[in-house]
A = this chain, B = another copy of it.
Amino acid sequence: MSRRPTMHDVARIAGVSAKTVSRVVNNETPVDPLTRARVQQAIAELGFRRNEQARSLRPGQTSALIGLVTGDLGNPFYSAIARGIEDVAHRRGHLLLTTSSDERPDRERQLIDALLQHNIEGLIIVPTLGQHDYLSPAFLRGLPVVAVDRPVHTHPPLDTVLLDNRHGAALAVTSLLQAGHTRVAVIDGESAVFTGAERIAGYHDAHRQQKVTPDATLLRQGFHGETQAETAMTDLLDLPAPPTAVFATNNRIAIGALNGMHRRKHWIPLAVFDDFDLAGMLPTPVTVVAYDAVEMGRQAAELLFARLDGLSADPQVRTLPVTVHQRGPGNLAVN
């Protein structure tokens, strides 16, 4: 198997110097049209492809590589973000290196290190819980970084793309309160997670605004995954005074809560931050907070490229809108 052809190989075939090949490949001027044609002919003949690693080694050149760290690419929320980033990156002639931290800060740090060794031009990160001192200027050496979904506290602050968690949650819970519910339970995941905390704040905002006092015993936090959420739901339904509606702070929790209702054959209206298939087919009304995760990725990538282009001055925080929809049977009222 023959060695991959270089510019020198092309140059030899075309009877020109490597520099002229370089000019043709990069559409630089001046090159005589006939020379250009000869070179292009030779390129086609050999199947030459420029070596990006060699190119980007030169000072002043860039790698055309963007790095992404999320908790788990297998999670559709994260992969939608990745897709949005990829869209913009592709349009800008960049490729995306994707990695998954498993939500572990040590692995996150290691991945960022690996990405830096590959000379990424910029980094987009859905930060794990924990300290991010390795997002400091000293560690990053001026690498532009954009945070998505969760803020990260650094000096100076980073460009950030968030959802309107608090407002979306408030809207969804308000729809329950306005239907007459006064005992709305909450099932949340890991209590230290930013998005969950914001959504719970929104729950409280709604109560305050609707002048309903929430019952603290109905607020359940720290549940990982569907199975735990299911138990939380059955526990709530087994209370002497069970809730008449429930707010799930995310998708997975909602699925667990629904499994719990199904198990107890006791259905109460559900509000949930996240949309999901078949929400409209359930035996109880579902109020969903929907958003565009792909768009989050796009916006993050656009912030990143703006900074690479030197267009950004101060770090920006963009908060993306969410929408609320009623799914399933129309009547939200208390049974």
In the docked arrangement, what's the CA distance between A334 and B100, Å? 46
Given A74-B80, A79-B76; A49-B116 close (CB under 8 Å)? yes
A255's nearest neighbour on chain B, judged by CB, is B277
A139 to B4, CA, bound (A): 11
Q: Nearest chain-B residue to A293 (Cβ)? A: B74
Would you call B72 and A83 a contact (CB within 8 A)?
Answer: yes
Answer yes or no: A32 CB below 8 A from chain B CBs.
no
* A contacts with B, residue count (CB < 8 A): 57
Q: How far is the CB of A45 from chain B (nearest CB, A)?
A: 12
Stretch at the interface among A160-168, A278-286, A315-323: A278-286
The answer to whether A262 touches B280, judged by C-beta atoms less than 8 angstroms apart, is yes
Closest to A76 in B: B76
* A82-99 to B contact mask, C-beta < 8 Å, 1/0: 111010001000011111
Chain B residues with Cβ under 8 A from A141's Cβ?
A: 1-2, 4, 47
Question: A249-280 interface mask toward B, CB cutoff 8 Å, 1 = contact, 0 = none?
Answer: 00000010011001000000000000011101
Q: What residue of chain B has the Cβ atom nearest to residue A95's Cβ?
A: B97
B95 engages A50 (CB within 8 Å) = no
Contact check, B97 vs A73: say whether CB atoms are below 8 A apart: no
- Say whether A138 faces chain B, with CB atoms less than 8 Å apart: yes
How far, in Å, is A299 (CB) from chain B's closest CB?
15
Q: A63-B53, A79-B82, A97-B96 are in contact. Are A278 and B258 (CB under 8 A)?
A: yes
Closest approach, in angstroms, between the C-beta of A2 and any C-beta of chain B? 8
Contacts of A113 in B (CB 8 A): 49
User: Within residues 40 to 58 of chain A, which ones have a CB less than 8 A from any CB in chain B?
Assistant: 47, 49-54, 56-57
Is A27's CB within 8 Å of the partner chain B? Answer: no
Structural contact, A117 and B57, CB atoms closer than 8 A: no
Instruction: Indicate if A294 sits at the interface (CB-CB under 8 A).
Output: yes
Contact A53/B50 with A1-B141, A262-B280, A281-B262 known, Cβ cut-off 8 Å? no
**Least CB separation from A297: chain B residue:** B74
A100 x B86 contact (CB < 8 A): yes
Q: Are A86 and B57 in contact (CB under 8 A)?
A: no
Q: Is there contact, CB below 8 Å, between A277 and B280?
A: no
Bound complex: CA A57 to CA B53 (Å): 7
Is A324 positioned at the interface, with any CB of B under 8 Å from its CB? no
Q: How far is the CB of A210 from chain B (nearest CB, A)?
A: 30
Q: A53-B56, A74-B83 are in contact. List 18 more A-B contacts (CB 8 A).
A: A2-B141, A47-B138, A49-B113, A49-B116, A53-B53, A53-B57, A73-B79, A73-B82, A73-B86, A74-B84, A75-B79, A78-B79, A95-B99, A96-B99, A97-B97, A258-B281, A259-B281, A276-B277
7 residue pairs, one from A and one from B, having the closest CB atoms:
A79-B79, A74-B83, A76-B76, A53-B53, A52-B117, A73-B83, A98-B98
